[in-house]
Amino acid sequence: HPLSESNPELERALVKLSDQILGAYLIITSATGSVPAFEPVLYATQVVAGANYYVKMMVLPGGNSGGDSDYVLPKFIHVKIFDQSWTKTIELTGISVNMTFQDPFEYDMPAPPSPQ
């Protein structure tokens, strides 16, 4: 689904997990320098004992790179979020980096690394 469709549960989950998503991204990519931001662009839902959300997020470089920089194709990450509202459980259960806009969601994406 394009994220032009409002989904309050997904928006709440993304806000709650934003620091964890950033931390996992930084560990996996060994990124240094400016801290990126992530903009959700697409999502899919899988009904389980709760819901799995698969979210495609554009990686927005941190800082100001100036207007004259060479155009670079945007990078994306995919995140998998488990949401079980009746137990108030919201967990980041998967993350894939270095994705393109065309890459399909992986239903068995790698688990996020443990915080260091």
Rounded to whole angstroms, how far apart are CA atoms 32 and 93?
Answer: 24
Give the pLDDT confidence score for residue 44 in this predicted structure: 92
Q: Please tell me the pTM assigned to this model.
A: 0.84
Rounded to whole angstroms, how far apart are CA atoms 91 and 67?
Answer: 38
Residue range 5-60, pLDDT digits in tens: 678 889 999 999 999 999 999 999 887 777 899 999 999 999 999 999 999 999 99
Using an 8 Å Cβ cutoff, are 90 and 18 in contact? no
Q: What is the mean pLDDT of the chain?
A: 86
Using an 8 Å Cβ cutoff, are 51 and 76 in contact? no
Using an 8 Å Cβ cutoff, are 28 and 12 in contact? no
Please identify which residue in the block is written with the tokens 């670079």: 72
Structural domains in the chain? 8-63+73-99 (3.10.450.10)
